[in-house]
Structure 1
Amino acid sequence: MQIFIMDTMLPPEGNGWTTHKWEFVRSLSKSDYEVHVMTHRGTELGGVTTHPIKFKEEYKLGFNFKFMHLLNILKNVRQCHPDILYTRNVSFALLAFFTIQKPKLILELNGLYEEHRKFEKKIYGKKKVLKNLKLIMKDRLEIFVAGKANGVIAVTPKIKDLLIKRGIDENKITVVPNGANVELFRPMDDPLAINDLRYQCNIREDAPLVMFVGNLAYWQGVEYLIHSSPLVLKTISNTMFLIVGDGEVKDELMALAEKIGVSDKFIFVGNVPYKKVPLYINMADVCIVTKKILGFGYSPLKLYEYMACGKPIVATNTEGFEVLEQSNAGLLVNPENSQELANAIIKLLRNDQLREQMGANGRKAAVAGYSWDNSAKKTISVFKKVING
């Protein structure tokens, strides 16, 4: 079986999008099947055949680049004669209808445009009319492609439920959650390296450390952590908060910490190389995922990476995070309630045994069910089902 990944693969760059594609393809490459993937020049990954995008320098920006990108994908697909076309991009998925060989199309959905539209309308009201119209058009395209695809991968059960309500055949939708690289993200018994990193970040060895790792976007809810921090500090005054990552709301978050009077307790280190992220996570006592609630739920990489590193977690009580209660690996809260969030953090910081037990439970659950290798195996089962009819 020959599998062609139409999405452009890049090494992880501090966001879930590139990490997802890289790690999924890396795990897929361990199979006995022939895997092809689009890349930028200079990007290589063992075990797969890479197809660099070719375009003129003047096409790097704008519509011309997008058009040439699509032509590059279509050209390579036609040359390879794959059995399976796989993508997370509904625009790329349309190319499947222009191939002579008519390979089977598998569309992966990590969210739904209609639910994003509802969320943004709730946040911005009627301020972003043009973006609202674009999301409506993207939603129509997404549902059309999902209906035409031979198989659909939904990363949460809620996405599957919403697709069924929109008329997509239940029998061709399979839930496959995201995962973590459990070999890279693991508990580290290296106190010297951890203490050295604390020193570099200007954090005392004995200071309790609460950490967020990820893209600083509005849906991440990092402001909830900042709002709750004075309540944590009132009880455990030497607590420090480390924010790893960059994004559109970073400046707003830093200004909020300044306004509340806790800027000396918050350290923003920006993006760090992907392979160094596990060391940062291992430095933490408690890890945070206080996402805002979206209608399709979550299958967040950072949750599984925290778990794989053996760290206790405080997370939003919403669909996708129930694994924490099921495996007793963390605490679920309403992050909009600052006292509730603070109480959960304090409970974990005060109880070494509870943190250790929850961390061990999380590691066990991640290895058993939330690794990229597990995701790849489940996805290959979908490929076989589609090929065999």
Structure 2
Amino acid sequence: MNILYYIGNRGIDLTKKVGYYTHVCKLIESVRATGNPLHLLCIGENSLPELGANTQIPHKYARYFVHRVLPFTGLINSSRLQKIALQLHKNEKFDIIHERFGLYSYGGYRSARKMNVPLLFEVNGPVIEEKQNHTDPLEGLELLSAKISRKTALKHGDGFVAISNIMKEIMVDEWGLPSEKIYVMPNCADHKVFAREGLKEEGLSLRKNLGYNDDEFVICFVGSFFPWYGLEVFFEAFGKAYKERKNLRLLMVGEGRIENDLKQMAKDSGFFEAIKWVGRVPHDDVPIYLNSADAAIAPFRRLPTKFFSSAIKIFEYMMSGSAILAPKLGQIAEVLEEGFSGIFFEPGNVESVKVGILKISESKEKCRMMGKNAQKEALSKFTWEKYGQQLVEIYGKMIDEFKAKNS
């Protein structure tokens, strides 16, 4: 079967090596590994040779700065992508469109209807609500247009992939979609990178180079330093735990807009010297840093909405063999088990996070055991190979059902 992978959201910048880039790359790679061709169509202007067959169109604003008043930007992109999709179909003869759902996603369903092929929506979050909580909230006509666009597009979907059980609940209870059309597929991790041979040795070597001794207990964070990750609460809790356990150390891998705020917090609370800041590192080096530490932290905070994302971070931590300190939130509570593969804390609760830090740092041997358990779970359930195979099975089922329905 031939798949058109359609990403109409301008906010998905595939030149940035962040979480969604990993998801898009691994999805493409895992589907192609099954022997099925996949063509990526998206907004962009940069060369993406690592993604194989792909077509990009440059983003365009509405003329005369109309985009600053009315939400025409996304609608224009959808229209232009639809035109290109139909042109590609003349030669490619796609069997199905797989669309990464975003704001103003109407070009995909219109393309699918004109091509007479089924449409699968990949839903990684309630896009409108995420925007309200994380970036610039939509208001007025822009918000209304986004809601109308979402409702219209979704009713034309022939099938849906939800990133988590909670996302499926939202799609059924709040969006009114039929449960039987929704498949839950969590994020995964690349075992060839995060569980590769020799990582333990590489981690020990890096630990020595970083200057850590055997008596120190190192907790590692990998990611972007943004407010929604709950790093401020974690830093406050770490400062309190550090006063009780002076061998605690923090390894910060990444960068972001609140980095200076975090550094000031550490200075004010007297534990700045207990932190090493290494900045952003190549993705393939992330598991080495995780293996140089004794545990990993994912300090997410609770959001005003029911939804909590399926964080690739958690699955990569698991695959690397890390003992994980994390909030008992959403999908995290489904994939980790208290005392078996990680330690939970109450999100946003400084005292609970502090207790979690002290608990996970009590025994390095127990951390090693939890790390092995987490990795075993990841290898059995959360590899991109399994993800691609399941996705192709869904494609086949949808294509057969679509043909039967329209014959």
Q: TM-score, normalised by structure 2?
A: 0.82
* Alignment of structure 1 residues 157-306 onto 2, 5 Å: 157-165=165-173, 166-186=175-195, 189=198, 193-198=202-207, 201=210, 203-204=212-213, 206-294=215-303, 295-306=306-317
Q: Which moves more between the two structures, 321-330 or 304-313?
A: 321-330
Distance 1:149 1:190, change over 3 A: closer
Secondary structure of the 2:115 match is coil
Structure 1 residue 264: Cα displacement: 2.0
Partner of 2:404: none
Distance 1:201 1:172, change over 3 A: same
Structure 2 Cα separation of the partners of residues 301 and 219 of structure 1: 15
Distance 1:278 1:298, change over 3 A: same
Q: Is the 8 A contact 1:212 1:244 kept in 2?
A: yes
Q: Does 1:50 align with 2:54?
A: yes
Secondary structure of the 2:155 match is helix
Secondary structure of the 1:280 match is helix
Q: Which moves more between the two structures, 362-371 or 130-139?
A: 130-139
Which blocks of at least 5 consecutive residues in structure 1 are unaligned?
Answer: none
Structure 1 residue 251: Cα displacement: 2.7
Structure 2 Cα separation of the partners of residues 252 and 133 of structure 1: 35
Q: Which string of whole-angstrom CA distances, capped at 9 and with x for unpartnered residues, describes residues 49-92 of structure 1?
A: 23344689xx9x99799756863563144323311111223357
Structure 1 Cα separation of the partners of residues 282 and 82 of structure 2: 29
Secondary structure of the 1:183 match is helix
Distance 1:364 1:130, change over 3 A: closer
Structure 1 residue 388: Cα displacement: 1.0
Q: Is the 8 A contact 2:225 2:231 kept in 1?
A: yes
Distance 1:174 1:353, change over 3 A: same
Partner letter of residue 107 of structure 1?
F
Partner of 1:112: 126
Structure 1 Cα separation of the partners of residues 299 and 21 of structure 2: 22
Q: Which moves more between the two structures, 186-195 or 150-159?
A: 186-195
Structure 2 Cα separation of the partners of residues 134 and 96 of structure 1: 20
Structure 1 residue 162: Cα displacement: 1.3
Identity %: 23
* Alignment of structure 1 residues 75-86 onto 2, 5 Å: 75-80=84-89, 81-86=93-98
Structure 2 Cα separation of the partners of residues 288 and 12 of structure 1: 27
Partner letter of residue 99 of structure 2?
T
Secondary structure of the 2:194 match is coil
Distance 1:275 1:12, change over 3 A: farther
Structure 1 residue 205: Cα displacement: 5.9
Q: Is the 8 A contact 1:281 1:309 kept in 2?
A: yes
Distance 1:157 1:143, change over 3 A: farther
Q: Is the 8 A contact 1:51 1:76 kept in 2?
A: no
Secondary structure of the 2:195 match is coil
Partner of 1:6: 6
Q: TM-score, normalised by structure 1?
A: 0.85
Structure 2 Cα separation of the partners of residues 189 and 370 of structure 1: 21
Partner of 1:310: 321
Structure 2 Cα separation of the partners of residues 387 and 339 of structure 1: 52
Q: Which moves more between the two structures, 199-208 or 316-325?
A: 199-208
Distance 1:130 1:306, change over 3 A: closer
Secondary structure of the 2:273 match is coil
Structure 1 Cα separation of the partners of residues 144 and 298 of structure 2: 29
Partner letter of residue 48 of structure 2?
T
Q: Which moves more between the two structures, 155-164 or 346-355?
A: 346-355
Secondary structure of the 1:331 match is strand
Partner letter of residue 341 of structure 2?
A
* Alignment of structure 1 residues 19-168 onto 2, 5 Å: 19-38=22-41, 41-45=46-50, 48-53=52-57, 67=76, 71=80, 74-80=83-89, 81-91=93-103, 93-99=105-111, 100-113=114-127, 115-116=129-130, 119=133, 134-135=142-143, 137-165=145-173, 166-168=175-177
Structure 1 residue 293: Cα displacement: 2.0
Structure 2 Cα separation of the partners of residues 383 and 193 of structure 1: 40
Q: Does 1:16 align with 2:28?
A: no
Q: Is the 8 A contact 2:193 2:287 kept in 1?
A: yes
Q: Which moves more between the two structures, 285-294 or 91-100?
A: 91-100
Q: Is the 8 A contact 1:155 1:175 kept in 2?
A: yes
Structure 2 Cα separation of the partners of residues 85 and 113 of structure 1: 20
RMSD, matched Cα: 3.2
Q: Which moves more between the two structures, 152-161 or 214-223?
A: 214-223
Q: Is the 8 A contact 1:307 1:366 kept in 2?
A: yes
Structure 2 Cα separation of the partners of residues 277 and 92 of structure 1: 35
Partner letter of residue 167 of structure 2?
I
Q: Is the 8 A contact 1:315 1:331 kept in 2?
A: yes
Structure 1 Cα separation of the partners of residues 269 and 325 of structure 2: 22
Structure 2 Cα separation of the partners of residues 102 and 161 of structure 1: 29
Structure 2 Cα separation of the partners of residues 94 and 129 of structure 1: 21
Structure 1 Cα separation of the partners of residues 291 and 82 of structure 2: 40
Aligned residues: 379
Distance 1:7 1:129, change over 3 A: closer
Which blocks of at least 5 consecutive residues in structure 2 are unaligned?
Answer: 402-407
